């Protein structure tokens, strides 16, 4: 090739790199419009030998993607749908297409018809989820970290380099108490610019706020490697109410799987969701601990806390539940808030964040701990049998002492741990 040819090739390369990527056949995806939206999963074959894709083994390769887009267009045309977006989910071997049904469509029937189509791996409606939190400034300030003797625990473990994925609203990554604590920040909510939001920032602070910096609070796992994955967006106003969808959550979970997270925090609640169930099973199958907030009021739906293998966490004692729920500090929690502030928050979301941090502490001590073992460490059967209601209080000192095999906090806890050790 001549020098001119090379320059032309490089120019094409630059133009292509700078051009915006059109991900779908349509734009204008309204992330908060769960109504009328469907998720249509098409099979994504396992990567394999292809002589025409010599150096492109990854999921990002276009090889095969166009075939699935062609099938999706045919399906959309046949069923009167409009393609909005798509996202490959190799953990499940599917390419997930978001499609919008016309107002006249009966969604359950449409889902049934699509599910029966041999080209479709599975189909479902888009569900909406809510973050589980409420602000209540009347509660007196009570540093919850003191309940777990955090300073003592941090002499043994700080969650160093344990990968924690927080799937939530946006986080203020340059908050003075979070600077340097966040390894990666990703936005999976299309159509809404990334911004600092209350719920996500509060959860991030509880998990991993910088310790010993002379300001604010100390996170439960201040040396964890925190990934903040925005899959939820604040509703009108800034009162920490927020919504997420099946699709945005699924994208964030797939990312957490790709990044080999050790713990995933889901401070959300909503209806059962088949796609998310499958992703959670994939995560649990890889030994990833999943911590979810349990909605004591039951107003938002039991999922994902109700999913088998997920650690269900409430901030208050649970009186009526078929699920085995653990209780952690969830009232009067001082934590980070957007605008370089700190404030008091309450709710199961923040109890779950505490346990997520605690799991990171345990995983630093024993990286190979499986989700079932973590469950036993956080809530020993001996304590479960003593519980008078459906909830068991997590004792961080006992959990760390049992994992480390040493005195963690006050030696009463250590002695208790020794007594409970098999």
Around Cβ 118, how many Cβ atoms within 10 Å? 5
First-last CA distance in the chain: 73
Residues 160, 68: contact at Cβ < 8 Å?
A: no
Our CB check for other proteins shows the closer of 91 and 313 to be 91
> Is position 309 an interface residue for other proteins (rule: CB under 8 A)?
no
CA atoms of 112 and 279, how far apart (whole Å): 21
Return the residue of 38, 39, 71, 221 that touches other proteins, per CB under 8 A: 71
> Is position 272 an interface residue for other proteins (rule: CB under 8 A)?
no
Angle between helices 396-404 and 411-420 (to 10 degrees): 60
Return the residue of 45, 80, 191, 271 that touches other proteins, per CB under 8 A: 45
The rounded radius of gyration (Å) of the Cα atoms in the chain is: 23
Return the residue of 7, 11, 30, 67 that touches other proteins, per CB under 8 A: 67
Our CB check for other proteins shows the closer of 253 and 353 to be 253
> Is position 3 an interface residue for other proteins (rule: CB under 8 A)?
no
Q: Which stretch binds other proteins (CB under 8 A): 18-26, 141-149, 168-176, 264-272?
A: 18-26
Catalytic residues: 168, 199, 349
> Is position 11 an interface residue for other proteins (rule: CB under 8 A)?
no
Our CB check for other proteins shows the closer of 69 and 395 to be 69
192 φ, ψ (degrees, to nearest 5): -130, 115
CA atoms of 102 and 83, how far apart (whole Å): 12
> Is position 342 an interface residue for other proteins (rule: CB under 8 A)?
no
Around Cβ 299, how many Cβ atoms within 10 Å? 9
123 φ, ψ (degrees, to nearest 5): -150, 150
Site track 207-246 with other proteins (rule: CB under 8 A), x = hit? ----------------------------------------
> Is position 106 an interface residue for other proteins (rule: CB under 8 A)?
no
Closest separation in Å from C-beta 94 to other proteins: 11
3-state secondary structure of 115: helix
Nearest CA-CA partner of 44 in 81, 93, 10: 93
> Is position 73 an interface residue for other proteins (rule: CB under 8 A)?
no
> Is position 90 an interface residue for other proteins (rule: CB under 8 A)?
yes
> Is position 50 an interface residue for other proteins (rule: CB under 8 A)?
yes
CA atoms of 232 and 166, how far apart (whole Å): 11
> Is position 53 an interface residue for other proteins (rule: CB under 8 A)?
yes
Helix intervals (H) in 227-339 = 246-258, 274-285
Around Cβ 397, how many Cβ atoms within 10 Å? 23
Site for other proteins in 137-156 (CB under 8 A): none
Residues at the site binding other proteins, with contacts judged by CB under 8 A: 1, 5-6, 9-10, 12-13, 16-17, 19, 21-22, 43, 45-68, 70-71, 90-91, 93, 117-119, 257-258, 282, 285-286
């Amino acid at each position: 090739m001549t020098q001119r040819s090379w320059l032309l090739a490089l120019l094409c390369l630059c133009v292509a790199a700078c051009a915006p990527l059109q991900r779908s056949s349509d734009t204008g995806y309204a992330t908060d419009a769960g109504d009328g939206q469907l998720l249509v999963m098409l099979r994504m074959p396992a990567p394999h030998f292809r002589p025409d894709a010599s150096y492109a083994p990854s999921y990002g390769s276009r090889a095969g993607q166009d075939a699935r887009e062609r099938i999706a267009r045919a399906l959309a045309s046949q069923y009167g749908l409009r393609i909005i977006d798509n996202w490959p989910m190799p953990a499940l071997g599917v390419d997930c297409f978001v499609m919008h049904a016309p107002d006249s469509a009966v969604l359950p029937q449409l889902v049934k018809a699509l599910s029966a189509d041999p080209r479709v791996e599975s189909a479902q409606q888009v569900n909406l989820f809510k973050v589980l939190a409420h602000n209540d400034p009347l509660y007196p300030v009570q540093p919850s970290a003191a309940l777990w003797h955090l300073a003592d625990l941090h002499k043994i473990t700080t969650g160093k380099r344990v990968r924690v994925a927080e799937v939530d609203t946006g986080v203020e990554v340059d908050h003075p108490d979070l600077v340097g604590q966040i390894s990666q920040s990703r936005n999976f909510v299309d159509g809404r610019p990334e911004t600092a939001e209350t719920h996500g920032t509060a959860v991030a602070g509880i998990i991993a706020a910088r310790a010993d910096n002379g300001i604010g609070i100390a996170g439960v796992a201040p040396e964890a490697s925190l990934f903040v994955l925005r899959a939820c967006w604040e509703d009108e106003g800034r009162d920490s109410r927020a919504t997420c969808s099946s699709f945005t959550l699924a994208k964030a979970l797939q990312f957490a799987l790709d990044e080999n997270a050790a713990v995933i925090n889901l401070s959300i609640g909503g209806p059962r969701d088949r796609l998310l169930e499958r992703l959670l099973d994939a995560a649990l199958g890889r030994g990833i601990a999943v911590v979810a907030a349990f909605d004591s009021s039951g107003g938002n739906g039991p999922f994902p806390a109700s999913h088998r293998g997920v650690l269900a966490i409430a901030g208050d004692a649970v009186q009526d539940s078929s699920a085995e729920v653990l209780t952690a500090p969830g009232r009067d929690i001082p934590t980070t808030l957007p605008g370089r502030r700190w404030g008091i928050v309450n709710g199961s979301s923040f109890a779950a964040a505490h346990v997520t941090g605690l799991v990171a502490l345990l995983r630093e001590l024993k990286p190979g701990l499986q989700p079932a073992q973590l469950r036993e460490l956080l809530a020993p059967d001996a304590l479960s049998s003593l519980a008078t209601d459906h909830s068991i209080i997590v004792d961080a000192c006992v959990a760390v002492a049992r994992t480390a095999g040493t005195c963690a906090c006050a030696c009463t806890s250590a002695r208790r741990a020794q007594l409970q050790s098999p």
